[in-house]
Structure 1
Amino acid sequence: MSHSEVHRAGDAPIKVDLVEGETYCWCACGRSNTQPFCDGSHQGTGLDPVVFVAQKSETVFLCCCKQTGTPPLCDGSHKKRE
């Protein structure tokens, strides 16, 4: 297994209430213990979190399977099994 391999952190997205103007760090590697957010577990993997600022206060579903084509938002990729 490659050290930079992305891990599937879950089989469903996580509902999150974003706050306008707040900065968030979405875990892109799947190793974080604070899903769907980064806890620094990616260090040394060559993978980086997706850092974003909420454009408005809203409820969103953030990807946990780490296969989304629209990171950090869920696009339903968790429903596709290999």
Structure 2
Amino acid sequence: MSDAIRASETPIAVEVEAGKSYFWCSCGQSKSQPFCDGSHKGTDFTPVKFVPEDSKKMYFCGCKATASRPLCDGSHSK
């Protein structure tokens, strides 16, 4: 598998709704960052489904290197 494209040097803040499904872009090619727009088609990448338990602001990984997919774990600063 090839490496993901680094879509952002910082996390992407999003106000999420409890119980709603979000699909995080794992390839970095989506024009709708941090979420999937289907740009991964034809690659080995697949979006990561995320359903938050609470409605609040969350920080999604933009560098695509997080170990806490889909949320930022600070990997962008390493």
- TM-score tier (shorter): over 0.9
Identity level (%): 51
In 2, the alpha carbon distance for the partners of 1:69 and 1:42 equals: 20
2:15 aligns to what?
17
Q: Deviations over 1:50-75 (max 9, x none)?
A: 01212111111100000001011100
CA-based RMSD: 1.1
TM-score by length of structure 1 reads 0.90
Larger Rg: 1
What is the number of equivalent residue pairs in this alignment?
78
Structure 1 residue 5 displacement after superposition: 2.9
* Residue number among 27, 41, 52 corresponding to 1:29 in the alignment: 27
1:47 aligns to what?
45
SS at match of 2:76: helix
